[in-house]
Chains A and B, each alone.
Chain A
Amino acid sequence: MKMSRTSSISLLAVLCAVAALSAGCSSNNNEEGSSGSSPAAGGASASASASAAPSAPVKLTIAQMDGGRVWKEDNPATLELEKRTNTSLEVNMIPSGDFLNKYNVMAASGSIPDISKIPNFEFEKYADNGLFLDIGDLVDQYAPNLKNAIDPELWDLVKYKGKQYAIPYQNVPGKIVPAVRQDWLDNLGLQMPKTLDELETMLKKFTTDDPDKNGQNDTYGLGSTGNWKGDFTMIFGAFGVMPFDSSGTRQAYLQDGVVYSSQISEGYKNAIAYIKKLWDEKVIDPEVFIIKSDQAQQKLVQSKAGLFTAWWSIAPEVLKNNLKMNEINPDAKWNPLLPAVTGPDGKSGLESRGSINGTINISAKAKDPVAAIKFLDYLATDEGWELATYGIKGQHYIDLTQGRTEEGQKAMDEKWLDPLAQIIYRPDMVDKVNDASQSPTQIEDNRFIKAAREYNLYADFFYGVPLTDAEKNLDPDLMKYEDEMFIKFITGAESLDKWDEYVANWKKKGGKEILEARVQAYNEMHGTSYKAGV
C-alpha cells in the first residue's frame, strides 16, 4: 500500500514529540546513586539584613530527615512556634535512607533550603562548594542560648578549615551496653565477670551448664545482634584497642605524637587470640558472622545466649517490649555488664558512637540568615525546646515531669506533634524528663541509658576528618581484606602465626597510604604535625 505523503509526515511529527519525551525522561526509572554535586552556589552574600519590620513573618525553609514524623500544616504546636518566632516555616521531611540523594539534586540545582540538617560530617563536602554560610559571628551575636546549649568542644569539632559552617547536633557517644542474663548468673551461682578470665568462665558455663534449666544443651555464651562488627567491642576494649566499630569504621590512636592504626596493633592480635580461644571452646554462637539482626534478636528472645553487646535500647526496648521476651520467659532478666571486663593491662571500654550525629547548616543564599539563627536560638531555649518536643503546655503535656496529656499522646501516635524535635538536641532536658518518668518502661530504659554512659569509650582519632581520596580508592578492598582475615583468624581458617604476613599485606593493600593521607588531612585541619606510624 502506498500511503499519502502528508499523513506520513504528520505521523512523523507526532512521533517526534513522543520520542523527545521518552528520550528526555526514560532515565527516571533508573535509581541512580548520586553523582557528586556540582558547585552551584555563588559567593556567600552574608548581608545581615536586620529584620526591620517584625510585623511580617520571615519565611524560612528547612530540610531534614523525617525521623518518622509527619509535617502537618495545621499542627497547633508548630503554628505556635511560628507565632513566637515570627516566622513562616516550610519544612521538607526527607526519608532518611534517601536523604543524601535528594540533597545532592537540591544542591546541584541550587535550591537548598535556608536551614538544612545534614547527617554526620557530610556538610564538609557541600561547604567545599560554597553552599553554606560561615555563621561563627552570627551565632556569637544573635544566638546566646544556642551557643550555651552546646559544648564548646563540639563547636570546635565541626569547625571546618577554620570556619564555622555548622551547628553541631549533639549525640551521646555512650550508647553501647553489654547485657547479661542475670537469671542465668543466679541459676549458676555466678557473679558478674570482672576480668577476661572470669568472662571466659561465665561464657563456658552459660554454654555447657544448662543455665536456663530446660534440660537441653541449647545455649551459647556469647550471642549475636546480627552485626558481628559490634559483637566483640568489650573484648577489644579490654585489650586497649578498637580495631573497628560496629559501623565498620577503622580506628586509629595517638601515642607520643605518632598516629597508629588499631588494625595492626599488638592489642588487636591479642584480642583475636582470645576470641579464637572462645570460638574453639564453642561458647560463641556459631552463626555470629552470618546471622541477620531479626533472627539474631529472635534467638536472644528464645534464650539461646546469655551475653550480647549492642545499643542500650536492645535489651529493655526491643527484646523486652517489642519482642515480648518476658511473656515467653517470665524469668528472663537482662542486666548491664558494668563495669566492663578488664584486660591484662587493666584496660577496659567500648566503642564510642561519636559525639555528634549531624549538623545544622545555613544556606549561603539564605535571604535572612539572622532570622534563621534567631529561630534556631529559640529552639535551644528551654521554652522553645519544650514547644518543639512536647507541644503546647497544658494542651499536649502537663509539664516535663508529668508527661503528655491524652491529646498530646494521640498526636504523638499519629506522628505529627514534634516534627522539629530533631533540630536542636538538649541532653540535659532529655535527662530531666527521663529521670522524672514514672513509666516502668522508661525506668527500665534508664538503667541501660545510664550504664551506657559509664564505660570508658574508644573514639577514633580521626573523628570528623573528611574522607580522603586514598580512602575512596582503596578502602573497600582493604576493608574486605580486614574482615576476611579477622573471620579467618577466629574460625581457624588462617593460623595466627601468619599475623606478620597479614600486617605486611595490610600495608601493601592501602593501609599505609590511607593512614598517611588521613594523618595529613588531620594535620591540615587542626594545624598539627603528627606522623603516621606505619
Chain B
Amino acid sequence: MGTRSMSRKGPADVIILIVLLLLCATTLYPLLNLIFISLSDMEDVMRSGGMLLYPRSIHWDAYDYILRYAGLADAYKMTIFITVVGTAINLVMTTLGAYVLSIRDMPGRNALMTFVLVTMFFGGGLIPTYLVVKGIGLVNTPWALMLPGAISAWLLVLTRNFFQGIPKELRESARIDGCSELMTLIRIMLPLSMPIMATLALFYGVGHWNEYINVVIYVNDEKLNTLQVLLRRMYTSAIGEVDGDSLPPPVETIRAATVALTALPIICVYPFLQKYFVQGMMVGAVKG
C-alpha cells in the first residue's frame, strides 16, 4: 500500500477525497461530541440541545465526580488484570486448540470439530453454567471471568483456518529438523501467525474490558468488581441522586464522561492492532 504514486489528481479524486472525509467526520463526530459534552458545563449542553462543535469552556466537574467514587482504583486494577491475564489465557488456549484442529491427518478431527462448532449455536443456559462454575469453585474469584470463556468457538475456527493457510511443508520440514509438535507451533507457526494473534488479542481483550454480566453473576465481593460494573452503578446513582444536602451532579456531562473513561483506553489500542486486525480476518477467511 502507498506504493502507487499519485502523480495526477483528477476531479474524481477530489470528490472521492471529500466524500471520504465527510464519512470520516460522521464516524468521528459522535465520539468528539461525547468528549466535548463531558468537558462542558451543563448549562452549555442544555442550551445546545446536546450538540457541541467545540466545548465553550473546559470543566472537569464530571470527571471529578466520577473519580471521587470509592473503589474506582480497585476496579481499574481488576479490569486491567482480567484483560491482560484473561487475554493471555485466551490466546494460549485458542492457539493450542486451533493448531491441533488444523492438522488434517489427526484422527477424529471432524468429530471434534463438530463438537466445538455445536457450542457456537447451543449454550447450556445461564443457570446450568452457573452451577458448573460454582461446582468447580470459581464463583467469587476473578477466574470465573477468565476460565469459563477461555475459548470462543468462533475465534477458534478463525484461527484454525489461518493455520490451515500456512503451507504444511513448513511443518514437515520442522519435523525433519527434529522439532516436537510444541516447538513447531512456537517456532514455526506462531511467528507466521502474528496477524491472527493480533486479531484474537483484540477481540478477546475488548471482550474482557467490557465484561459486565459475568461479573454481576459470578462475583459477590465488592473488591472484585470491574470498571464497567462500578461505572454503571455510579451512573445510576448520579441520575437517582436525591440527597438533599448536596447539589445533584450534572447528569449529562457525567454520562459522557463515563463513556469516555470506559471507551477511550480500549479505543487507544485499536490503531496499534488495526493493521494486523484486518489482515488477520482476511487471511483466515480467504484461505479457509
Chain A residues near B (Cβ < 8 Å): 1-3, 7-12, 14-16, 18-19, 21-35, 37-38, 66-73, 92-98, 101-102, 104-105, 108-109, 111, 294, 298, 301-302, 313, 317-318, 321-325, 327-328, 403-404, 409, 412-416, 433-434, 437, 439, 441-442, 445
Contact across chains for A29 and B152 when beta carbons are under 8 A apart: yes
Given A19-B97, A22-B97, A437-B245, A98:B105 Cβ within 8 A: no
Given contacts A27-B124, A298-B46, A321-B248, 16 further A-B contacts (CB under 8 A): A12-B100, A26-B152, A32-B123, A68-B236, A68-B238, A68-B241, A70-B233, A98-B213, A101-B126, A102-B217, A104-B127, A322-B248, A328-B47, A409-B246, A416-B71, A441-B244
Contact across chains for A8 and B105 when beta carbons are under 8 A apart: yes
Given A1-B168, A28-B149, A70-B233, A437:B181 Cβ within 8 A: no
| Cα A211 to Cα B257 with chains together (Å) | 36
Contact across chains for B97 and A15 when beta carbons are under 8 A apart: yes
Q: Which of A22, A23, A72, A73 has the most CB of B within 10 A?
A: A22
Interface size, chain B (Cβ < 8 Å)? 81
Contact across chains for B240 and A23 when beta carbons are under 8 A apart: no
Q: Point out the residues of chain B lying under 8 angstroms from A445, CB to CB.
A: 242, 244
What is the chain B residue whose CB lies nearest that of A416? B70
B121 to chain A, nearest CB (A): 10
Chain B binding surface SS class = helix
| Cα A336 to Cα B151 with chains together (Å) | 58
Given A66-B233, A403-B245, A415-B234, A18:B100 Cβ within 8 A: yes
Contact across chains for A101 and B217 when beta carbons are under 8 A apart: yes
| Cα A105 to Cα B47 with chains together (Å) | 46
A–B pairs, 14, beta carbons within 8 Å: A1-B175, A21-B147, A25-B151, A26-B123, A33-B126, A67-B237, A68-B233, A68-B234, A95-B216, A96-B236, A318-B251, A413-B68, A439-B244, A441-B247
What is the chain A residue whose CB lies nearest that of B99? A11
What is the chain A residue whose CB lies nearest that of B124? A27
What is the chain B residue whose CB lies nearest that of A75? B70
Choose among B49, B97, B148, B245 the residue that contacts A18 (Cβ–Cβ < 8 A): B97
With an 8 A cutoff between CB atoms, is B110 at the interface?
Answer: no
Contact across chains for A412 and B246 when beta carbons are under 8 A apart: yes
Number of A-B contacts (CB under 8 A): 230
Given A66-B233, A96-B236, A105-B127, A413:B152 Cβ within 8 A: no
Q: Point out the residues of chain B lying under 8 angstroms from A29, CB to CB.
A: 123, 149, 152, 207
Choose among B119, B168, B222, B249 the residue that contacts A26 (Cβ–Cβ < 8 A): B119
Contact across chains for A22 and B156 when beta carbons are under 8 A apart: yes
Contact across chains for B119 and A23 when beta carbons are under 8 A apart: yes
| Cα A363 to Cα B53 with chains together (Å) | 55
With an 8 A cutoff between CB atoms, is B116 at the interface?
Answer: yes
A63 to chain B, nearest CB (A): 8
Contact across chains for B127 and A108 when beta carbons are under 8 A apart: yes
Contact across chains for B125 and A24 when beta carbons are under 8 A apart: no
What is the chain B residue whose CB lies nearest that of A20? B115
| Cα A294 to Cα B253 with chains together (Å) | 13
Q: Point out the residues of chain A lying under 8 angstroms from B70, CB to CB.
A: 70, 72, 414-416
Q: Point out the residues of chain A lying under 8 angstroms from B168, CB to CB.
A: 1
| Cα A372 to Cα B250 with chains together (Å) | 39
| Cα A68 to Cα B47 with chains together (Å) | 29
- Contact flags (1/0) for B247-266 with A, using CB distance below 8 Å? 11111100000000000000
| Cα A23 to Cα B93 with chains together (Å) | 13
What is the chain B residue whose CB lies nearest that of A418? B243
Given A12-B108, A66-B233, A95-B229, A322:B213 Cβ within 8 A: no
A394 to chain B, nearest CB (A): 17
| Cα A416 to Cα B233 with chains together (Å) | 12
Contact across chains for A72 and B68 when beta carbons are under 8 A apart: no
Q: Point out the residues of chain B lying under 8 angstroms from A313, CB to CB.
A: 242
B34 to chain A, nearest CB (A): 14
A38 to chain B, nearest CB (A): 8
A412 to chain B, nearest CB (A): 6
Contact across chains for A298 and B50 when beta carbons are under 8 A apart: yes
With an 8 A cutoff between CB atoms, is B1 at the interface?
Answer: no
Residues 51 to 101 of chain B near chain A (Cβ within 8 Å): 65, 68-71, 93, 96-97, 100-101
Given A14-B96, A403-B245, A437-B244, A301:B46 Cβ within 8 A: yes
With an 8 A cutoff between CB atoms, is B141 at the interface?
Answer: no
Contact across chains for A24 and B124 when beta carbons are under 8 A apart: yes
A333 to chain B, nearest CB (A): 17
